[in-house]
């Protein structure tokens, strides 16, 4: 056996006659002398978290009470965050959802210099998940918050809360834990309708949770029955975004699924059709967490970025050998059992993922039949469960990479994000022109600490900025150069130019830890564009903006979205970077109409 090591200075060491089952320590002997030139570079972002002084709170909960073989905890999936100019004073205010025992918090922005905190609701009895802005029939702004029922008494329902300055209303009551929320005018009547993603059914993981659309009819939300069939069995929805992915002028629905593919529901006059298979995305099944869109190769079509579990964990699977999860009441005790399985090359068969102790504690018949760890270790999945697996439902996943999906018009081409994006679980993907060069960039929040008890937590990420080149390629930026150094259990995040200097700032939440605020100090300033939509969609959610240059070329399409990434909402005020002189600002409005405004090199807000 031979090993070849290429050292960081480019020298190579070759070792042969290696014997298996031995530990070798290999040292570099011949080294090249490298002249190191130290350069000082200012990071893009400066941390300003002290302006908020906010800590997310999460009461402890035993997630494994009803299903001891859950792969991860669902009680610590938040929070989400949202930027919106709530008081209409010209700057973005901030909302952060809370965990059980914590609070939903509102931070009133005072000209980008300080934030005044208020509690929307304290002493939460359940987790608040996604958080996005809304507006009622009188044009009064508010927020929509998804509420989890995972920590509630078994059988209790979850709900959607609608808060404004005057009152709190409950929109609906559902049997599943609510995950992502997104809004768009799907029926083209001038107001915003709501998608509610079903994350998980308590004590019934991984049975598909029902997702819902609620149609806004003059401020009254009613279930959308005509789309109930396509939404009822989608799966475990982790992330959602409305985006005009087929470029036909209306908002399609894009979903990230756990144990499933990136799913595309095409909007045809308010009726959704699942076209995932048609776009060749059905074979790309992952443990997807978040989803966002951007025109990464600047061809006028919106591409996708989706976050996944990552490659630096105990899990390893491929399209030829996917990870599977079977679910059934294998021991007939009225408890839904979970059996994860992976392919073992020595057995050339599926074997259980979980160890003897875990499996036998959940299903005592396994201990009775196998008796010892050795017997269990020498058994395949069929040896343990017999023919019962043939009739048991199962799901599978075959990829763990976070990816960019380039839109080819009638299909997508998948490209993995850079290596640094794969070293930990990625949660929130956000899209903005961070450095102001006219190309779309990506930020991802990272890490996941709340895993099953015998598994190491995923903690290798610090949050990651990846700069785009306008051709669909991305380069990761070291934390000391980006200024983003977040070491905790990161969740939702959102972009805003909160201090109104034409540079895009960033907020990153953490579960059970400090919320991080980063101010962009060393990027080129862009053009601040504010759209004025109709009364019931005043921020123009669903619109698309594009800068046209004096040489006839154009920059990337930017879409204004309510609810994207992971359970969060970016500011609807857009900061558009550019790399050539700008001649026009082109807008496609939510109803599909288009307008073009000559650019007057105006400083400050550009209102359309």
- What pTM was computed for the model? 0.92
Helix (H) or strand (E) holding 261: strand 252-261
Give the residue ranges of DSSP H helices in 446-592: 479-482
- Residue 32, pLDDT above cutoff 70: no
Report pLDDT for 5.
85
CB atoms near residue 76 (< 10 Å)? 25
- Cα 182 from Cα 213, distance rounded (Å): 10
CB atoms near residue 597 (< 10 Å)? 13
Q: What is the pLDDT of residues 321-338, one digit of tens each?
A: 999 999 999 999 999 999
Q: What is the pLDDT of residues 66-125, one digit of tens each?
A: 999 999 999 999 999 999 999 999 999 999 999 999 999 999 999 999 999 999 999 999
User: Whose CA is closest to 196, among 172, 217, 220?
Assistant: 172
- Percent of the chain at pLDDT exceeding 70: 98
Q: What is the pLDDT of residues 230-252, one digit of tens each?
A: 999 899 999 999 999 999 999 99
Q: Report yes or no: 99 and 78 within 8 Å, Cβ to Cβ.
A: yes
**Cβ contacts of 268 within 8 Å, gap of 6 or more:** none
Q: Report yes or no: 222 and 212 within 8 Å, Cβ to Cβ.
A: no
Residue 87, Ramachandran bin (φ over 0: left; ψ between -120 and 50: alpha; else beta): alpha
Identify the three-state secondary structure at position 228: helix
Q: What is the pLDDT of residues 431-446, one digit of tens each?
A: 999 999 999 999 999 9
Half-sphere exposure of 444 (CA within 13 A, CB side): 36
Q: What is the DSSP string of 283-351?
A: T-EEE--EEEEE-TTSSSS-EEEEE---SSSS----SSS-EEEEEE-TTSSS--EEEEEEEETTTTEEE
409 pLDDT tier (thresholds 50, 70, 90): very high
Report pLDDT for 396.
96
- Residue 604, pLDDT above cutoff 70: no
Q: What is the pLDDT of residues 294-313, one digit of tens each?
A: 999 999 999 999 999 999 99
Higher pLDDT, 254 or 601: 254
Average pLDDT over residues 263-269: 97
What are the Cα distances from residue 188, in Å, to 192, 368, 473? 9, 61, 35
Q: What is the pLDDT of residues 170-197, one digit of tens each?
A: 887 788 999 999 999 999 999 999 999 9
Higher pLDDT, 296 or 137: 296
Report pLDDT for 205.
97
29 pLDDT tier (thresholds 50, 70, 90): confident
Q: What is the pLDDT of residues 557-590, one digit of tens each?
A: 999 999 999 999 999 999 999 999 999 999 999 9
Beta-bridge mates of residue 110: 114
Cis peptide before 31 (omega within 30 of 0): no
Helices (H) and strands (E) in the chain, counts: 6, 42
35 pLDDT tier (thresholds 50, 70, 90): low
| Residue recorded with tokens 């099953």 | 452
Report pLDDT for 608.
73
């Amino acid at each position: 056996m031979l090993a070849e090591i290429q050292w960081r200075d480019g020298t190579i060491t070759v070792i042969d006659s290696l014997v298996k089952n031995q530990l070798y320590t290999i040292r570099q002997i011949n080294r090249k002398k490298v002249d190191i030139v130290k350069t000082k570079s200012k990071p893009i972002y400066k941390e300003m978290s002290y302006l908020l002084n906010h800590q997310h709170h999460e009461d402890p909960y035993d997630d494994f009470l009803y299903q001891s073989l859950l792969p991860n905890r669902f009680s610590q999936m938040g929070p989400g965050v949202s930027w919106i100019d709530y008081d209409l004073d010209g700057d973005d205010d901030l909302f952060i959802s809370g965990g059980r025992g914590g609070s939903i918090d509102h931070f009133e922005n005072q000209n980008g210099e300080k934030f005044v905190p208020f509690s929307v609701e304290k002493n939460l009895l359940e987790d608040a998940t996604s958080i996005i802005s809304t507006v009622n029939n009188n044009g009064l702004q508010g927020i929509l918050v998804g509420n989890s029922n995972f920590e509630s008494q078994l059988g209790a329902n979850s709900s959607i809360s609608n808060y404004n300055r005057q009152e709190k209303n409950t929109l609906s009551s559902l049997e599943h834990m609510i995950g992502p929320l997104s809004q768009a005018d799907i029926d083209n009547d001038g107001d915003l309708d709501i998608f509610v993603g079903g994350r998980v059914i308590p004590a019934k993981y991984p049975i598909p949770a029902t997702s819902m659309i609620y149609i806004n009819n003059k401020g009254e939300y009613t279930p959308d029955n005509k789309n109930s069939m396509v939404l009822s069995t989608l799966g475990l929805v982790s992330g959602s975004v409305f985006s005009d992915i087929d470029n036909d002028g209306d908002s399609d629905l894009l979903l990230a699924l756990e144990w499933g593919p990136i799913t595309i529901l095409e909007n045809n006059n308010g009726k959704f059709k699942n076209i995932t298979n048609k776009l060749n995305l059905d074979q790309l099944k992952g443990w997807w967490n978040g989803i966002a869109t951007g025109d990464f190769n600047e061809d006028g079509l919106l591409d996708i970025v989706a976050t996944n579990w990552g490659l630096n964990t105990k899990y390893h699977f491929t399209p030829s050998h996917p990870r599977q999860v079977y679910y059934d009441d294998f021991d007939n005790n009225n408890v839904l059992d979970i059996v994860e399985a992976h392919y073992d090359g020595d057995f050339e068969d599926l074997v259980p993922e979980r160890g003897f102790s875990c499996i036998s504690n959940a299903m005592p018949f396994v201990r009775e039949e196998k008796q010892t760890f050795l017997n269990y270790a020498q058994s395949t999945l069929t040896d343990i469960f017999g023919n019962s697996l043939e009739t048991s439902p199962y799901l599978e996943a075959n990829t763990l990479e976070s990816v960019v999906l380039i839109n080819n018009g009638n299909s997508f081409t998948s490209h993995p994000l850079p290596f640094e994006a794969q070293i930990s679980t990625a949660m929130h993907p956000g899209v903005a022109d961070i450095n102001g060069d006219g190309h779309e960039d990506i930020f991802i929040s990272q890490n996941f600490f709340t895993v099953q008890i015998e598994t190491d937590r995923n903690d290798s990420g610090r949050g990651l900025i990846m700069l785009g080149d306008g051709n669909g390629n991305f380069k990761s930026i070291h934390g000391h150069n980006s200024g983003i150094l977040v070491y905790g259990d990161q969740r939702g995040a959102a972009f805003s130019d909160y201090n109104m200097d034409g540079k895009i700032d960033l907020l990153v939440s953490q579960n059970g830890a400090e919320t991080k605020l980063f101010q962009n100090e060393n990027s080129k300033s862009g053009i601040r564009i504010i759209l004025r939509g109709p009364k019931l969609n005043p921020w123009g959610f669903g619109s698309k903006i594009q800068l046209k240059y004096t040489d006839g070329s154009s920059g990337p399409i930017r879409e204004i979205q309510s609810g994207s990434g992971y359970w969060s909402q970016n500011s609807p005020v857009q900061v558009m970077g550019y790399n050539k002189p700008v001649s026009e600002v082109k807008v496609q409005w939510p109803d599909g109409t288009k307008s073009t405004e000559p650019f007057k090199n105006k400083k400050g807000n550009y209102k359309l």
